[in-house]
Amino acid sequence: MDVEERYRLVSRNAEEIVTEEELKQLLATKESPRAYIGFEPSGLVHLGWALVASKIRDLVDAGFDVIIFMADWHAYINDKLGGDIERIRLCANYMQDAFESLGVPRDKVTYVLASQIMDTTEYWGMLMKVGKVTSLSRVKRAMTIMGRKEDDAELDSSKFLYPLMQATDIFRLDIDLAYAGLDQRRAHMLAREAAEKLHWKVPVALHTPLLPGLQGGNRMDPIANKMSKSHPDSGILIHDSPEDIARKIKKGFCPPEVEGNPILAMARLVLFPRMSQMVIERPEKFGGRLEFNSYEELESAYLSGGLHPMDLKNGVAKTLSDMLAPSRKYFEEHPENYQALKASFEKA
């Protein structure tokens, strides 16, 4: 595969690449670069991860050695799962199942727990060097990567470590390309700035869009509006039943425009990258069956008034249910980690 094709795979559906020139140079000079994406093990997996799984597969296909980093101590600092480190690590096992169910083969990626790399003086030495070239105000500005406000650090001083840890993870793992959703941009910029000051390798930063929640909301703030498991009906879980998927989407916000429309965003960001066609069944008296072979066709029909919002919702719900059928089957056949995590919620 030539450099242009590799670049096309890495860059498709990306929101931002910092920088495109650096990525092209990386692909031209390194056959198997190292990429990473980090996750807090913090609960059940929603549809936004399908978008991420697609990009991970793109990176693998483009020749990257991909590390999926399970940030257990980061989740502890961020008070996830009651700050219970054992529940957090249980969730990390479930998350590996989730990625496999979404089509990421275990033998094509490497899973690493944060605790596996933090138990060394080398890690903490790197962290202190990152801290020495990073101001406290810069760390506080990066607090939004945790889904928190800057002032939240005043309540718990461990949270100041989080942005420094996220940058140090990248350096300790010798990463060439750091990948995440757009909400992690500040952490990647902090890492790039620190690397330049320390004369370390500066990682390329790749960001994909955030899937909006079904309830709609502040369209000017995609981070605040992203799909979240903390609002049950705002998001689709990857193992939801077809009935639950249809119920949630039926209640979803669907304005007569593209901007701020989570139903169209779901089709653009998740469905068409994975499915070659969307079929919408309608009674003959309402125009009959429709077939769309691209997102652009679907969007055009909707904006022109040729597709009713309820028909769009029904089509998206059916296509999404079909797409997630392998995940449902996977967890039916491998229920152990999923059921153990759910049981931990009942005990908490």
Confidence class for position 104, pLDDT limits 50, 70, 90:
very high
Predicted local confidence at residue 145, as pLDDT = 65
Q: What is the mean pLDDT of residues 242-264?
A: 94
> Which one is predicted more confidently, 326 or 152?
326
Please state whether the predicted TM-score (pTM) of the whole model is above 0.85.
yes
Matching CATH number, 241-323, of 3.30.70.3340, 1.10.240.10, 3.40.50.2000, 3.40.50.720: 1.10.240.10
| 313 pLDDT more than 80 | yes
For residue 278, what is the enclosing H or E element?
Answer: strand 278-280
Which pair of structure tokens corresponds to residue 274?
A: 């994975």
Confidence class for position 284, pLDDT limits 50, 70, 90:
confident
Tens of pLDDT along 140-197?
A: 888 876 666 656 656 678 888 999 999 999 999 999 999 999 999 999 999 999 999 9
Q: Report the candidate in 95, 34, 98 with the shortest Cα–Cα distance to residue 67.
A: 34
Residues 91 and 231: their CA atoms lie apart, in Å, by 19
Report residue 115 CA to chain centroid gap.
21
Predicted local confidence at residue 69, as pLDDT = 97
Cα torsion 211, 214, 220, 221: sign: negative
| The CA-based dihedral angle spanning residues 254, 257, 263, 269, taken in that order and rounded to the nearest 10 degrees | -160
| 138 pLDDT more than 70 | yes
Mean predicted lDDT score pLDDT of the chain? 91
Q: Report the candidate in 100, 160, 72 with the shortest Cα–Cα distance to residue 330.
A: 100
The fold adopted by the segment(s) 3-208 is Rossmann fold (3.40.50)
DSSP one-letter string for 146-190: GT--GGGGGG-GGGGHHHHHHHHHHHHTT-SEEEEEGGGHHHHHH
| 4 pLDDT more than 60 | yes
Predicted local confidence at residue 216, as pLDDT = 73
Residues 113 and 89: their CA atoms lie apart, in Å, by 8
Confidence class for position 251, pLDDT limits 50, 70, 90:
very high
Q: What is the mean pLDDT of residues 123-127?
A: 97
Least confident of 147-161, 235-249, 265-279: 147-161
3-class DSSP state for residue 288? coil
Predicted local confidence at residue 106, as pLDDT = 93
Predicted local confidence at residue 282, as pLDDT = 86
Confidence class for position 219, pLDDT limits 50, 70, 90:
low
**Every domain range in the chain assigned CATH 1.10.240.10:** 241-323
Helices (H), 257-335: 262-266, 295-303, 309-323, 325-333
Predicted local confidence at residue 153, as pLDDT = 54
Predicted local confidence at residue 275, as pLDDT = 87
Confidence class for position 240, pLDDT limits 50, 70, 90:
very high
**Every domain range in the chain assigned CATH 3.40.50.620:** 3-208
| Peptide bond just before 120 cis, omega within 30 deg | no
